[in-house]
C-alpha cells in the first residue's frame, strides 16, 4: 500500500471509529437511545461498526 493513501485512510478510519465509539458510549451512559428506533440492536451495531472502523484505521497505519 502506498504510504500517503495509507496514512490518509488510516487517519480517516481511526478518527471515525473513535468518534463513533465515543458517541455511542456517551449516549449509553446517559441512557439515551443510540439510534432513532432506540433498540439495543442499534447500540450493538454502532459499537461493532465503530470498533471495525477503528481497527481498519490501525491496520492502515501499520501498513505505512
Distance CA 3, CA 53 (A): 19
- Domain span including residue 16: 3-32+39-62
Q: Are 43 and 28 in contact (CB under 8 A)?
A: yes
Structure-block grid coordinates of residue 59: 491496520
Distance CA 24, CA 16 (A): 12
Residue 7, pLDDT score: 94
How many domains does the chain contain in total?
Answer: 1
Residue 37, pLDDT score: 83
Low-confidence ranges of the chain (pLDDT < 70): 1
Exposed, middle or buried by CB within 10 Å (0-12, 13-18, 19+), for 47? middle
Residue 2, pLDDT score: 86
Amino acid at each position: 500500500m502506498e504510504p500517503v493513501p495509507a496514512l490518509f485512510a488510516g487517519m480517516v478510519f481511526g478518527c471515525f471509529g473513535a468518534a463513533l465509539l465515543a458517541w455511542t458510549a456517551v449516549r449509553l451512559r446517559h441512557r439515551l437511545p443510540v439510534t432513532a428506533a432506540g433498540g439495543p440492536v442499534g447500540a450493538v451495531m454502532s459499537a461493532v461498526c465503530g470498533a471495525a472502523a477503528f481497527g481498519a484505521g490501525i491496520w492502515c497505519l501499520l501498513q505505512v
